[in-house]
Amino acid sequence: MATATLPAMLPSVKSFVAEKRKMLVNGKWIEAVSDRTFEVFNPATGDVLAHVASGDVQDINAAVKAARAAFETGPWSRMTPSDRGKLIWKLADLIEQHLEEFAQLESLDNGKPLTVARVADVPLAIDLFRYMAGWATKIEGNTIPVSVPYAPGAKFFAYTTREPVGVVGQIIPWNFPLLMAAWKLGPALAAGCTVVLKPAEQTPLSALLLGKLICEAGFPDGVVNIVTGFGETAGAALAQHPGIDKIAFTGSTEVGKLIVEAAARDLKKVTLELGGKSPNIVFGDADLNTAIAGAANAIFFNHGQCCCAGSRLYVEQGIFDDVVNGVAEAARSIKVGEGFAPDTQMGPLVSEEQLNRVSGYLDAGFAEGAEAVCGGKRGSGTGYFVEPTVLVKTNAKMKVVQEEIFGPVVTAMPFKSAEDIAPIANDTVYGLAAGIWTSDISKAHRAAAQLRAGTVWINCYNVFDAALPFGGYKQSGWGREMGHDALENYTETKAVCIAI
Ligand code: ADP
């Protein structure tokens, strides 16, 4: 556990968590219709951190109504793309001015190191909004030469426009609370949609601070509504709501399937960013030091609570022991502790439920014959800590190799040659990301082409950028976040054809 003196909470953060937090509907901060609240916990201690309004069907109904009115008749519907872009940019500036508050809230609520939230979560969210602000004025259609073979001699002028898909429901997870809100809101707002956002019940605080800044930036009422609450209540009500044109979800594959079922009733548009079990492949000719550090970062960043975590480490057999020992040494050296401590490199898992889930996977792995080179246990104390763990003696059939653990647990397995590895790496229902470590550029490109994954990192891992699309093959999802691909999720194409 980290022992360094903890920095003080900013007074603004202290008062933010002390006050009962309300929801944002139609530009106003309101209690839940039921008047219920739920508790949010500090995962480093298990203590109650804040009380938040517990939204349900009626709150979702009010939020959807407000978003519909804002989309159809409000000032947002008449705003120029340039003005939309300016508002999004202004929001980014405001987040930047409140960077430390966001970083502290994120660390308190999610457990992640404050030092990481400051340099990763918050700056990435700011950058995403700025990137999407630029797109607001560049969502263009095409002019299309048409031939119409059954109308010889007739002449037509045809073009397409990209129109906002409408009112969007967005459900986000707890692993990067602010950043996931940014990934969802940025492209929706750039495209001209209106939104009902439901943050995860474990980590609703940064989205609520973001809501304050959305109001301060001057977004018209009802453009962004934020309903806090549980998945089975507020989340399910949003996914089923007939007044929503599209639902965007990030979370587990299991819940993703429920979202699809709910959306199927009225054929809402759906995009999903789901789980992963990403292979990270180290070839014998890789630079060992870089690959070892990279493999450790691939799994241990954000405590393994990343959908793209490099959780299956495949190492060419000649260097297997060196790489596994190196990653285990890196794991042992990770300073685990409270997110606020300046020397903490890994905080607690987000919740007791998540701790139990990860511990359950470790038990299952050991029962099936896996061995821990390091870690393998819960941490001590009342927080939701687990030791960074490297498992060996694993095989493709084991639960720990097939299922997403979403914790700091990597399974390491040797492979024989470049020819064998692609089918092994692809042997999962997921296809979110993959890593390749080699000094042979041709081998890297060959392997990248063979991997069924939405992102392939070569001699790096966990490199994210607002301009780089991110999303999954297979059961890792539908559609892409970030980059200009993300705008596809929030626009409809209209073809217009004129006889001339
Ligand atoms: P995890 O299991 O890691 O907590 P989930 O997929 O359950 O991840 O949660 C991601 C988001 O989905 C959260 O905002 C959660 O409240 C929401 N959610 C959970 N269950 C449902 C559901 N049945 N319908 C809609 N949203 C849900």
Q: What residue ranges define each of the domains in the chain, with the CATH number in brackets?
A: 10-274+477-496 (3.40.605.10), 279-465 (3.40.309.10)
Distance (Å) from CA 173 to ligand 1 centroid: 7
Distance (Å) from CA 255 to ligand 1 centroid: 6
User: Ligand 1 in contact with 255 (CB < 6 A)?
Assistant: yes
At 2 the pLDDT is: 45
User: Ligand 1 in contact with 232 (CB < 6 A)?
Assistant: yes
Q: Which residues lie closer than 8 Å to 500 by C-beta, 6 or more apart?
A: 155, 156, 157
Determine the average pLDDT of the residues in 98-124: 98
Q: Which of 193, 307, 308, 374 is catalytic?
A: 307
Active site residue 488: no
Q: Which residues lie closer than 8 Å to 251 by C-beta, 6 or more apart?
A: 171, 172, 173, 200, 231, 274
Compute the residue count for the chain.
Answer: 500
User: Ligand 1 in contact with 198 (CB < 6 A)?
Assistant: yes
What integer best gives the mean pLDDT of the chain?
A: 97
User: Ligand 1 in contact with 184 (CB < 6 A)?
Assistant: no
For a substitution probing ligand 1, which of 171, 197, 228, 352 has the most ligand atoms within 8 Å of its CB?
171
Q: Which of 106, 273, 316, 404 is catalytic?
A: 273
Helix, strand, coil percentages in the chain from 3-state DSSP, rounded to 5: 40, 20, 35
Give which of 196, 200, 255 is closest to 225, Cα–Cα: 196
Strand 473-474 to 194-198 pairing: unpaired
Atom 18 of ligand 1 has which residue's CA nearest to it?
Answer: 231
Task: Retrieve residue 269's tokens.
Answer: 């548009």
Distance (Å) from CA 237 to ligand 1 centroid: 12
pLDDT digits (tens, 9 = 90+) for 182-223: 999 999 999 999 999 999 999 999 999 999 999 999 999 999
Distance (Å) from CA 66 to ligand 1 centroid: 23
Calpha distance 353→364 (Å, rounded): 16
At 4 the pLDDT is: 59
Determine the average pLDDT of the residues in 79-96: 98
User: Ligand 1 in contact with 239 (CB < 6 A)?
Assistant: yes
Percent of the chain with pLDDT over 90: 97
pLDDT digits (tens, 9 = 90+) for 279-307: 999 999 999 999 999 999 999 999 999 99
Active site residue 497: no
User: Ligand 1 in contact with 270 (CB < 6 A)?
Assistant: no
pLDDT category at 5 given cuts 50, 70, 90 is confident
* 319 has a pLDDT exceeding 60: yes
Distance (Å) from CA 229 to ligand 1 centroid: 10
User: Ligand 1 in contact with 173 (CB < 6 A)?
Assistant: yes
Distance (Å) from CA 128 to ligand 1 centroid: 23
